[in-house]
Structure 1
Amino acid sequence: MKKKISNQFFAHYLVVLFLVFLATVLAVLLLSFASQLASNTFAKNKYPASAIMQDDYKQIDAAPIVQNGGSVQVIDKEYRVVLSEGEDAIPQKQLTAGEFTNFLVRSKSKDTPFHHDILYNPQGEFWLIVTFPASIRIDFAFTMNNKAANGDFGKAALIFGAVIVVYLLLLAALTAIYSKITASQITVPLRKLCDGTRLLREGDYSARVELRLKNEFAELQNTFNDMAARIEREISLRKKSEEDRRRLILDISHDLKNPMSSIQGYAERLCQKSDMSEQERDGYLQIIHQNSQRANRLLTELFELSQMDSPEFSLKREKTDLCEALRQLCGELVPQLERAGFEYEFNIPEESVFVLLDSERFSRIIQNLASNTLRYNGQGTTVTVSLTVENNQAMIDFGDDGIGIPAHLTHDIFKPFVRVDDSRNSETGGSGLGLSIAKKIVEAHGGDLTLFKGSDKGCTFRITIPKI
């Protein structure tokens, strides 16, 4: 059975309640001790009226009392002030019986700022009054007399017990309120965090927690929200990856199915028709050979693409003059461009630009870009290749003024099996893997391959490689 935090807080505060009550008892004992200690240190207790009392009031020595800030008065049986030393506690020289009685009553009041010690001398028939200003008064005493009336004792005990009960109830109520307030400062944020966690568990990855606090719970809130955002992002990427994987499998199946079906169909035809002519047989064999080459090329590029995704994939990079390497590759492209009826413009600086390059892999990039240009564009298209250096980066722009790339494909053009020809026509001969392979090779060089929209016609691919 789980225990609620609020109940645990209340149990803890009950312990605090007991400790407060215990502290109160100790405080009472300390007050009693302090009262006793004060009685031994205050001047009023060092010089009581009994210490200076004489039967003849004229022989009373009031000097020590006056020196310590006190005063001495003697009242005779006629209520006259016959002796006064120090500050007058009774300013009148003659009192009535009523006035003297009122003075005696007031002298015992806790509200008076003076302490009066009054003693009667029966032989001299006078009252000796010793007065000291009250610096601080600590009055606490617990008295019980067995001779008191039974009813009074019971009433006093009932009142005292009621005071204790009310005091304890008040402490308990304040403890309960305080424990609830304190517990809510913890339980409310925890409940919100639990609700957010439950939503995440149930698949709502957009769940967030808003506590509006500035303590440790705020840090926990930020951690939870960051975690939820990361999970949401990971789930989104996973779903996208699954969709890409399914699409990739469908594309591979489709691109392999056509040539394999063609190979199977023509092979069956060759097996079934034994009386076909030599010319017809050679035609079938040529088709079978072309489709087998197409399937083999697709499988080879798939294998190459998977190799590049492997952590073991690495380049054999050497310090190379990029300008010279690019000139050689462009020279190799010229015959292909001329056979296709393409125009070309090369703008390559004469000065050297050195980079770390895997020449064989880099040539594959240029070949793939050129192959796409030749495959999808018609005669009269102009191919341009230029090299510039900016911010320690060598930038190669490979462009054309042909049909361009549709806007809906610009963001996905480097994904596997994405082709401008949506019909996946075998006449184009493309696998849809060339740009994916090219981009991974450039990234392995520490650069990037992007589709650069430099003009309204055709398209331009920009290769960026760090210069050394």
Structure 2
Amino acid sequence: MFFNRLRKKFKRLYITMFKNYIVFMFLVLLVLLGSICFVIFTIGKMITSEEYVKDTQKFFMASKIVKDDYKKIDASKIIKSNGWVEILDSNKKIIYVIGTKKDKSASYTEDELLHFMDLSYNNLKSDTSYFYSVAPFNSNEKKFYCIVKVPPGIVKLNVDIAPSPDKYIEKAAIYILVAILVIIVFLITSVFLYAYLTTKKVVMPLKKILQGIKRMTEEDYSTRINFNAENEFAEIRDAFNFMAEKIETSKAERNRMEILKQQLLSDISHDLKTPLTSIMGYSKALRDDVVKDDEKIKQYLNTIYNKSKRTVSLIENLHEFTKLDNNGFLINKENWDFCEFVRKIVSEYYNEFEEKCFQIEINLPEHEIMYKFDKLEMERAISNIISNVLKYNKFETKVKIELTCNNYEIELIIADDGIGIDEGLKGNIFEPFSRGDKSRYTKGGTGLGLSIASKIVQKHGGSLTLESCKEYKTMFKLKFEK
């Protein structure tokens, strides 16, 4: 449970947006650092290359500064670095020095010159006393040698005094430009990607919700939306589906009630038409003196009375039904002994039970069961059920009336093992004008008794259900919370 709540919390939209933002910033920093490292690495590699060193330090190379007129050689930077220039004749003897000579060499052998020429740039990294650079040249058709000597480390320390060649500046600028372009392209791509991923989390659920709303406006109440999203949209999805289900159920109920209303009007007109037609026929016969026999006249009047009684009963039940169906109608509850109340009702039907030879089993507690209810309405509800038991069952039917009570509820059972009720009718037996058997059309039933009983019980906050068991085919169970 804890982990589920934690998972739901971290699936909030703002958490997802924050995580996307963190990933986005991490990638930006990663590329930025990568680009900076690339620029530093490429420029570092360039300036430490042998070509670059040679190019930027060419003023230390004898071949770069030598001139035919060796007295005009510019050795100012070499001298500034505590070095000097020596000019040798064809016999390898020093004939001219530019700068302050720091060693005592007066001449060199062929092998020494070859060694200096071979070491050239590598002497920069060696442990020798000086960096040597040798270049032969001709002047006035005579051969000479130019030797540059610089203390070790001077060349490396004084790189900054050498002007950087334009081609290396251009290369460095290209590297920097490429890195900037990579960063810009990545940033633009990342922004679009971040915007896409972020809007996808919002736009997709909104599209689904709008599509659902559109179908709902077209009265397609079976519409349901389904998508995976963060909790905010998931809650909207669930609320929408719940609303759609409620509307669909409400519409189905309205349609059912409309059909029921039409059926109700049809049944009312039918149930009123039959007795009224009989009354009209018999009364016309009496008015026109068609019947002369006193016994026949009495029979006709008796029929008119019974039909009128049935019509009045139907109208009274219809009035009671519409009254109970009105939400504004309030019942008058008072505190009464429910056990004594049921005992009184049953006693009123005792003679009718005996006339039909019913085998009746009555189980009522001896102690009081105090409950707040409307005596008039509750009597009508229980009487309607007992009347049905008497009216539509055959002689010697077994009947059970049992009242039980505990700390939470009161339960009244009225059961019989008579003709029973068809399975197909049990689901709507409490609807108005529902009839448990076909004979009810001819036995004077109005079809409103059980519907009225159900509404009265509901007005008391209870429930009326139809059940069955092995011993009894039909069992009405009334339950009331204490």
- TM-score class, shorter-chain normalisation, is 0.5 to 0.7
Q: Measured at CA, do residues 256 and 162 of structure 1 come closer, stay the same or move farther in structure 2, by a change above 3 Å? A: same
Residue 101 and residue 391 in structure 1: after superposition, are their counterparts in 2 closer, same or farther (change >3 A)?
farther
Instruction: Indicate whether 1:217 and 2:233 are aligned.
Output: yes
Does residue 250 of the first structure (1) align with residue 286 of the second (2)?
no
Aligned runs of 1:3-18 on 2, under 5 Å? none
Contact 2:131 2:151 in 1 (8 A): no
Structure ranking higher in helix proportion: 2
Residue aligned with 1:234, SS: helix
- Per-residue deviation at 1:168? 6.3
Contact kept? 1:321, 1:354, Cα under 8 Å: yes
SS at 2:131's partner residue?
coil
Aligned to 1:97: 133
Match for residue 248 of structure 2 among 229, 232, 243: 232
Counterparts of 2:251 and 2:417 in 1: how far apart (Å)? Answer: 41
SS in 2 for 1:398: strand
Q: Match of 1:264, SS?
A: helix
Query: Residues 102, 94 of structure 1: CA spacing in aligned structure 2 closer, same or farther, 3 A cutoff?
Result: closer
1:174-193 equivalences under 5 Å are: 175-193=191-209
Q: Distance in 1 between matches of 2:234 and 2:193?
A: 25
Q: Which residue is equivalent to 1:28? A: none
Displacement after TM superposition at 1:359 (Å): 2.3
Alpha-carbon distance in 2 for matches of 1:315, 1:166? 82
Name structure 1 gaps, 5 residues minimum: 1-19, 25-72, 83-87, 108-115, 121-126, 128-142, 149-155
Q: Which amino acid aligns with 1:375?
A: K
Matches within 5 A, 1:121-136: none
Q: Deviations over 1:157-203 (max 9, x none)?
A: 99999998898677656555554444343332222222222222333
Counterpart of 2:377 (choices 344, 357, 361) is 361
Residue identity (%): 33
1:429 aligns with 2:438: no
**2:411 corresponding residue in structure 1:** 395
| 8 A contact 2:333–2:374 mirrored in 1 | yes
- 2:465 alignment counterpart: 450
**Cα offset, 1:94, TM superposition:** 1.3
- SS of 1:386's equivalent? strand
What's the counterpart of residue 328 of structure 1? 344
> Match of 1:410?
426
Counterpart of 1:77 (choices 71, 74, 84) is: 84
Alpha-carbon distance between aligned partners in 1 of 2:316 and 2:149, rounded to the nearest angstrom: 127
- CA contact 1:403–1:457 (8 Å) conserved in 2: no
Aligned to 2:387: 371
- AA paired with 2:446? S
* Aligned amino acid, residue 221 of structure 1: R
Q: Does 1:438 align with 2:438?
A: no
Which of 300, 323, 348 lines up with 1:284 in the alignment? Answer: 300
| CA RMSD, 1 decimal | 4.2
Secondary structure of 1:97's partner? strand
Q: 1:284 to 1:102 in 2, by over 3 A?
A: farther
What SS does structure 2 have at the residue aligned with 1:96? strand
Structure-2 separation of matches of 1:192 and 1:207: 11
Query: CA separation in 1, counterparts of 2:366 and 2:383?
Result: 23
Q: Which residue of 2 aligns with 1:464?
A: 479
Structure showing greater Rg: 2
Task: Assess if the C-alpha contact under 8 Å between 1:321 and 1:353 holds in 2.
Answer: yes
Q: TM-score by structure 2 length?
A: 0.63
Q: Secondary structure at the match of 1:396?
A: strand
Change (3 A) 1:457 1:311: closer
Following superposition, the deviation at residue 363 of structure 1 comes to: 2.0
Amino acid corresponding to residue 368 of structure 2 in structure 1: S
Give the unaligned 5+ runs of structure 2: 1-27, 33-79, 87-100, 104-123, 135-147, 167-171
Could you state the TM-score of these two structures normalised by the residue count of structure 1? Answer: 0.65
Distance 2:282 2:369 in 1: 53
Amino acid in structure 2 at the alignment position of 1:93: S
Letter in 1 for 2:464: L
Offset of residue 423 of structure 1? 5.6
